[in-house]
Amino acid sequence: MSDTFKNVNPRRLCQGGFLLFTLWIGWRFALWARPLLEGEIPQATRPAAVDAFLPLSGFLNLKYALISGTIHEAHPAALLIFLAVCASALLVKKGFCSFVCPVGFAGEMVGKLGEKVGLSRRLTRVLDLPLRSIKYLLLAFFLWNIVLKMPGFAVGKFLSSGYNLTADIRMFLFFITPSKGAFLTFAALFVLPFFIKGGWCRYFCPYGALLGLLSVLSPFKIHRNETACTACGKCRKVCPSSISVNKKHAIFSDECTGCLTCVSACPSPEALRLSTSSKGPKLKIGIVALLMVLLFVFTSMAGRLSGNWESQIRPRSLIMQVMMMKMEKKGMTSAGGRS
């Protein structure tokens, strides 16, 4: 039994656990959302953790909180989860991407399948560098329009708007009644990695771009001890982010996810470590996985204890907003049919 547990990868266990939790949250949310779409008050309780899929709402709520000193009552968990995700990058590189994110996990699995059948490829440097800029351009677009351009009163108005109040329900409809745009999004998320290694995460994810920039400030980085290094190059070959770990003293790259794949593949126990220095105490993969779990558990607890976790919008108000949303969609469909 002990040998079996020794072979368990804590990162995969953490990813799998968060994926199962996400699916469970999705099922609970469906029980709550379906009655609302029928104009009925749901008997089920809305799971606040679904706000993890509303980072834009959380980002706007952050600006609102900094201006007003209070957290907006619609999707407050989105703000706390957004802060927790940012904190994870400041703590242990892009740990959210490699230990938590279900989209990243799915992309990895699809990529491995593509490798097995010989279709998944790493892009050449000529293509890789300019394409990596796309996610930063998307991030810059959001930062410009939210942080710099959007005035404070407009932030509060948006957070109270019907669009934001029903953002979670719109997301639910995005999955259960996918449009052409949704199919293109799904293709980018789950099909692109089959052909291009890290397709979505490496080139298009603005959330990952933000975490990459924050991760540069993390005190923990992959460090290489030149004396212990055998120059075998295995770390470079297995690195999901194609970083030349074997040629660097410390990895400052914004693409490093802190997944510790390079450390696990290294034949020399003292050559690579996630630490504050090349000879500092090691942060093992199991500890990183535990830190990620505890970070989100404590975030949830803090939100519940402070009263900033559950949305305070009443179901009757939401039913009205949902009816308006459905009328809006019906009008857009009719207009599209006439054109």
Burial of 2 (0-12, 13-18, 19+ CB in 10 A): exposed
Kindly tell me if the per-residue pLDDT of 18 is higher than 80. Answer: yes
Closest CA to 56 of 132, 137, 131, 141: 141
Q: Supply the pLDDT for residue 56.
A: 94
Does residue 215 surpass a pLDDT of 90? yes
Q: Return d(Cα 251, Cα 319) in angstroms, integer.
A: 50
Give residue 1's pLDDT: 43
Using the predicted structure, report yes or no on whether residue 181 has a pLDDT greater than 50: yes
Q: Are 251 and 241 in contact (CB under 8 A)?
A: no
Helix segments in 216-280, DSSP class H: 234-238, 261-265
Dihedral class, residue 69 (left if φ above 0, else alpha if ψ from -120 to 50, else beta): left
User: pLDDT-based confidence at 326, cuts 50/70/90?
Assistant: confident
- pLDDT beyond 60 at 112: yes
Q: How confident is the model at residue 334 (pLDDT cuts 50, 70, 90)?
A: low
Average pLDDT, the chain: 90
Flag the least confident range among 1-5, 140-144, 194-198, 266-270.
1-5
**Is-contact 251 221, C-beta < 8 A?**
yes
> What phi, psi does 289 have (nearest 5°)?
-60, -45
> Per mean pLDDT, which range of 179-188, 231-240, 266-275 is the poorest?
179-188
Angle value at C-alpha 278, between 277 and 281, nearest 5 degrees:
65
Q: What mean pLDDT comes out for the span 168-190?
A: 86
How does pLDDT run across 51-68, given as a tens digit for each residue? Answer: 999 999 999 999 999 999
Residues whose CB falls within 8 Å of the CB of residue 135, separated by 6 or more in sequence, listed in order: 202, 203, 204, 205, 206, 208, 209
Confidence check: pLDDT of 45 > 50: yes
Q: In 3D, which of 304, 306, 202 has the Cα closest to residue 257?
A: 202
Could you report the per-residue pLDDT of 301-318, keeping only the tens digit for each?
999 999 999 999 888 888
Confirm whether pTM is higher than 0.85. Answer: yes
Q: List all residues 6 or more positions away from 319 whose beta carbon is below 8 Å from its beta carbon.
A: 36, 39, 40, 41
Q: Are 94 and 256 in contact (CB under 8 A)?
A: yes
Q: Residue 178's pLDDT is what?
A: 79
Residue 331 has pLDDT above 80, yes or no: no
pLDDT, tens digit (0-9, with 9 covering 90-100), for 244-293: 999 999 999 999 999 999 999 999 988 999 999 888 889 999 999 999 99
Mean pLDDT of 31-54: 93
Q: What percent of the chain has pLDDT over 90?
A: 70
Strand 221-224 relative to strand 272-275, pairing? antiparallel
Give yes or no for residue 84 having a pLDDT over 90. yes
Chain position carrying tokens 């305070």: 312
- Taken in order of first residue, the domains within the chain and their CATH numbers are 2-219+283-338 (no CATH), 221-282 (3.30.70.20)
Say whether pLDDT at 338 is over 60.
Answer: no
Q: Comparing 111-115, 186-190, 258-262, 268-272, which segment has the lowest mean pLDDT?
A: 186-190
Report how far Cα 288 is from the mean position of its chain's Cα atoms: 17
